[in-house]
């Protein structure tokens, strides 16, 4: 029997799809004063994930444990009262014997839809909660209420880019000082390390860039060449470099479409900080492997050869950077002496330069899988393609940061390979939203492609 409580509406039921439970193992506790229904077919699907060694497997196991604990309080089929301050009822929903003629009984999504249909026919006020867009469309065909699971999500309209633009007459742009900026911002909310582009009303290229430092303090960011004559190509790249080179900003996120220079800028800044300024002991780089499957194991060769293929985009950017450098900073004093005896000065094979950095312990390319449980001290840490990570995975990585480390996550929130994540729920965008009030965090959304004209057109037209 369900524990009687006047605070629970027993005819109001939210049915959760598998992808919701896999996305957030606390989703069972996110609905107050109602019935939370789990179709039996969803339990079957959860069982297929429980042995996976990733966040999906972990969430599947957590959900099953929670339901096992609740099972001790009563029958899940009849409904078990869940306290925890939410006064809800958890119920496992049986699969209806009769399927609607439009629905194929062998398709899991159709079984879930039929379960919701059956509840509606029996007088329940029912809503299907799913992150599957197509399932929501199919639900609409049957006049069923269906919603995305939006807890912790950020809408497109509310998304924090890390910068804002203000237009002024050109003469006022020229006269503007850091002390006058607070008057210009007025009562608007501005976050730590947020950038302000003050541009001419009639010429956006006539602009000045400032970063908010807290209180009423701003600093002007000047785009200039640094280290081997590298320089930012646009105002967003200037913002990104300003954050990457500031050691007081311990956590940075860079977002934007392909070709905006995210990976290039982080690799450049990381090399500069580790090799030139020696602010960090090591440059650690990692990328999720979700687009390649569950692991790198199927790739040919030994572990180092597998990592080479998996890290190819990183190697490509390194080669571009090295091709514009004299290379002296990339070798140890011993290697420089050997090259001098051989008559070599800089140049050389780009891969050999990377291997030299790895052998000296200055550069480390690692799989994200092996970062759990570690404490990472005094390192410049770069996680590329972070849009394919869940918020929990980003939390796991960032919480590894020890004293003296800086962590950068970067990616394109428009290109997500995980079927359980989207623009508003992936770890990259969620982390940017949740950290935006912290003085040790900064973010930049880069929206200007700096690749070839062909690449720009492809991004716009295809």
Task: Select the more confidently predicted residue: 321 or 103.
Answer: 321
Same domain for 140 and 237, yes or no, is no
pTM higher than 0.85 = no
Whether 237 and 135 map to the same domain: the answer is no
- What pLDDT is attached to residue 273? 96
Owner of token pair 């004293």: 403
Give the pLDDT confidence of 255-266 residue by residue, as tens digits. Answer: 998 889 999 999
Tell whether 247 and 137 lie within a shared domain.
no
161 assigned to some structural domain: no
pLDDT (mean) for 150-161: 69
Whether residue 159 is contained in a domain is answered as: no
Q: Are 442 and 431 in contact (CB under 8 A)?
A: no
Q: What is the CATH number of the domain that holds 442?
A: 3.40.50.300
> Is 203 domain-assigned?
no
**DSSP-assigned letters across all residues of 186-254:** TTS---TT-EEEEEETTEEEEEEEEEEEETTEEEEEPP--BTTTB--SSHHHHHHHHHHT-TT--EEEE
Q: Is residue 201 domain-resident? A: no
Separation CA 460–CA 453 (nearest Å): 11
142 & 239 share domain:
no
The two structure tokens encoding residue 279: 């602010």
Same domain, yes or no, for 403 and 271?
A: yes
In DSSP terms, 218 is beta-bridged to 212
- Residue 96 falls within a domain, yes or no? yes
- The domain boundary, picked from 113, 147, 181, lies at 147
Task: Write down the residue that tokens 């089929």 correspond to.
Answer: 77
pLDDT of 53 strictly over 80: no
Taking the C-alpha atoms of residue 46 and residue 69, their distance in angstroms, rounded to an integer, is: 17
Residue 138 inside a domain? The answer is yes
Lowest mean pLDDT among 72-76, 82-86, 113-117, 378-382: 82-86
22 in Cβ contact with 49 (< 8 Å): yes
Full domain range(s) for residue 271? 233-461
Q: How far apart are CA 289 and CA 296, in angstroms?
A: 7
The DSSP annotation for 34-69 comes to SEEEEEHHHHHHHHHHTT-SSHHHHHHHHHHHHHHH
Of the residues 122, 147, 172, which one is the last residue of a structural domain?
147
DSSP state of 95: P
Please indicate, yes or no, whether residues 393 and 269 belong to a single structural domain of this protein: yes
Q: If pLDDT is split at 50, 70 and 90, which confidence band does 455 have?
A: low
- Residue 305: is its pLDDT beyond 70? no
- Per residue in 162-171, pLDDT tens? 999 999 999 9
Residue 10: predicted pLDDT: 82
pLDDT tens for residues 390-433?
888 898 889 888 889 999 999 999 888 877 778 878 889 989 99
Q: What is the per-residue pLDDT for 442?
A: 97
Q: What is the pLDDT of residue 292?
A: 36
**Lowest mean per-residue pLDDT among 85-89, 129-133, 445-449:** 85-89
The answer to whether the CB of 59 falls within 8 A of the CB of 25 is yes
Domain termination site, one of 119, 147, 175 = 147
- Our count of domains for the chain comes to 2
Residue of 451, 431, 452 whose CA lies nearest to 440: 431
What's the rounded Cα separation, in Å, for the pair 428 and 409? 7
Can you tell me whether residue 335 is helix, strand or coil?
Answer: helix
Domain co-membership, 250 together with 391: yes
317/421 same-domain check: yes
**Is residue 205 a part of any domain in this protein?**
no
Band of pLDDT at residue 333, cut at 50, 70 and 90: low
Q: Are residues 441 and 316 both part of a single domain?
A: yes
**9-18, 236-245, 312-321: least confidently modelled range:** 312-321
Rounded-to-integer distance, Cα 151 and Cα 147, Å: 12
Q: Euclidean distance between the first and final Cα of the chain, in Å? A: 57
Number of Cβ within a 10 Å radius of residue 203: 11
- 10 Å CB burial of residue 323 (0-12, 13-18, 19+) is exposed
Same domain, 143 and 266: no
Are residues 440 and 310 part of one domain? Answer: yes
Helix (H, G, I), strand (E, B) or coil at 146: strand
**Residue 190 falls inside a structural domain:** no
**Are 264 and 403 within one domain?**
yes
Nearest partner of 357 among 365, 367, 368, judged by Cα: 365
Q: What is the pLDDT of residues 205-245, one digit of tens each?
A: 899 999 999 999 999 999 888 887 889 999 999 999 999 99
Q: Give dist(CA 202, CA 200) in Å, integer.
A: 5
CATH number at residue 95: 3.40.50.1010
The yes-or-no verdict on residue 202 having pLDDT over 90 is no
- Per-residue model confidence (pLDDT) at position 446: 94
Whether the per-residue pLDDT at 438 is higher than 60: the answer is: yes
């Amino acid at each position: 029997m369900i524990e009687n409580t006047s605070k629970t509406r027993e005819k109001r039921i939210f049915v959760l799809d598998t992808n919701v439970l896999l996305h957030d193992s606390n989703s069972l506790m996110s609905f107050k004063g109602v019935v939370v229904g789990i179709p039996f077919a969803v339990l079957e699907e959860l069982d297929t994930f429980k042995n996976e060694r990733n966040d999906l497997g972990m969430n599947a196991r957590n959900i099953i444990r929670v339901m096992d604990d609740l099972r001790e309080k009563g029958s899940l089929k009849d409904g078990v009262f869940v306290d925890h301050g939410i006064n809800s009822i958890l119920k496992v929903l049986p699969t209806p014997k009769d399927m609607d003629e439009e629905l194929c009984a062998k398709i899991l999504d159709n079984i879930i839809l039929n379960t919701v249909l059956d509840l509606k026919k029996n007088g329940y006020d029912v809503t299907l909660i799913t992150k599957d867009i197509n399932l929501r469309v199919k639900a609409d065909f049957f006049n069923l209420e269906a919603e995305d699971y939006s807890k912790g999500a950020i809408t497109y309209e509310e998304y924090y880019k890390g910068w804002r633009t203000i237009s002024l007459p050109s003469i006022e742009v020229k006269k503007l000082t850091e002390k006058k900026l607070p008057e210009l911002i007025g009562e608007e909310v501005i976050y730590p390390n947020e950038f302000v582009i003050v541009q001419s009303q009639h010429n956006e290229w006539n602009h000045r860039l400032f970063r908010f430092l807290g209180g009423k303090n701003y600093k002007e960011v000047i785009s200039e060449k640094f280290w081997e004559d590298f320089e930012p190509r646009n105002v967003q790249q200037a913002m990104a470099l300003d954050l990457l080179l500031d050691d007081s900003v311990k956590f940075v996120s860079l977002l934007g479409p392909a070709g905006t220079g995210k990976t290039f800028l982080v690799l450049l800044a990381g090399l500069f900080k580790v090799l030139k300024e020696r602010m960090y002991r090591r440059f650690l780089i990692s990328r999720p492997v979700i687009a390649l499957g569950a692991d790198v194991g199927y790739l040919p060769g030994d572990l180092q050869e597998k990592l080479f293929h998996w890290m190819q985009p990183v190697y490509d950017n390194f080669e571009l950077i090295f091709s514009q450098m004299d290379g002296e900073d990339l070798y140890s004093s011993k290697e420089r002496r050997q090259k001098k005896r051989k008559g070599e000065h800089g140049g050389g094979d780009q891969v050999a330069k990377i291997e030299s950095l790895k052998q000296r312990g200055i550069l480390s390319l690692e799989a994200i899988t092996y970062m759990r449980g570690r404490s990472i001290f005094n390192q410049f840490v770069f996680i590329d393609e972070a849009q394919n990570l869940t918020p929990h995975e980003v939390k796991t990585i960032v919480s590894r940061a020890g004293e003296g480390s800086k962590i950068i996550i970067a990616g394109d929130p428009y290109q997500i390979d995980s079927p359980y994540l989207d623009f508003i729920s992936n770890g990259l965008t969620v982390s940017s939203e949740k950290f935006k009030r912290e003085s040790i965090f900064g973010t930049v959304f880069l929206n200007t492609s700096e690749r070839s004209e062909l690449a720009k057109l492809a991004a716009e037209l295809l």
